[in-house]
Amino acid sequence: MSDDNLTIRTENLTRQFGKLVAVDRLNLAVPRGTIFGFLGPNGAGKSTTINMLVGLLPPSAGTAQVAGFSILDAALEVKQRIGVVPEGLNLYERLTVSEQVELVGRLHGLSRAELRQRLPSLLELLDLKDSANKMILDYSAGMRKKTALACALVHVPEVLFLDEPFESVDPVSTRAIKNVLRDMVAQRGTTVFFSTHVMELAERFCDQVGIINRGQLVATGSIDELRARTGLGEEAALEDVFLRVVKADVAVEQDEELLGWLTGSGAGAERVETNHAG
Ligand X SMILES: Nc1ncnc2c1ncn2[C@@H]1O[C@H](COP(=O)(O)OP(=O)(O)OP(=O)(O)O)[C@@H](O)[C@H]1O
Smallest distance, ligand X to C-beta of residue 45, A:
4
Shorter beta-carbon distance to ligand X: residue 17 or 251: 17
List the Cα angle 66/226/215 in 5-degree steps: 50
The verdict on 85 binding ligand X (CB under 6 A) reads no
Beta bridge partners of 143: none
Residue 246 contacts which entry, ligand X, Mg ion, none (Cβ below 5-8 A, type-dependent): none
Amino acid at 127: D
Residues of this chain that interact with Mg ion (CB under 5 A) are 46-47, 87
The verdict on 45 binding ligand X (CB under 6 A) reads yes
Span near ligand X by CB under 6 A; candidates 38-46, 129-137, 180-188, 237-245? 38-46
Amino acid at 159: V
Decide if 87 contacts 50 (C-beta within 8 A). yes
Shorter beta-carbon distance to Mg ion: residue 43 or 58: 43
Smallest distance, Mg ion to C-beta of residue 57, A:
12
Output the CA torsion sign for 140, 143, 147, 152.
positive
SS3 29: strand
Q: Which of 9, 29, 40, 238 binds ligand X (CB under 6 A)?
A: 40
Most distant CA pair in the chain: distance in Å?
A: 74
Residue 202 contacts which entry, ligand X, Mg ion, none (Cβ below 5-8 A, type-dependent): none
Smallest distance, ligand X to C-beta of residue 28, A:
14
Shorter beta-carbon distance to ligand X: residue 186 or 248: 248
Decide if 193 contacts 161 (C-beta within 8 A). yes
Burial 151-161 (b: 16+ CB within 10 A, else e): bbbbbebbbbb
The verdict on 146 binding ligand X (CB under 6 A) reads no
SS3 67: coil
Residue 42 contacts which entry, ligand X, Mg ion, none (Cβ below 5-8 A, type-dependent): ligand X
Decide if 206 contacts 35 (C-beta within 8 A). yes
Q: Give the span between the Cα atoms of 43 and 135, in whole angstroms.
A: 32
Residue 127 contacts which entry, ligand X, Mg ion, none (Cβ below 5-8 A, type-dependent): none
* x/- track of binding to ligand X for residues 7-36 (CB under 6 A): ----------x--x-x--------------
Positions in the binding site for ligand X (CB under 6 A): 17, 20, 22, 40, 42-48
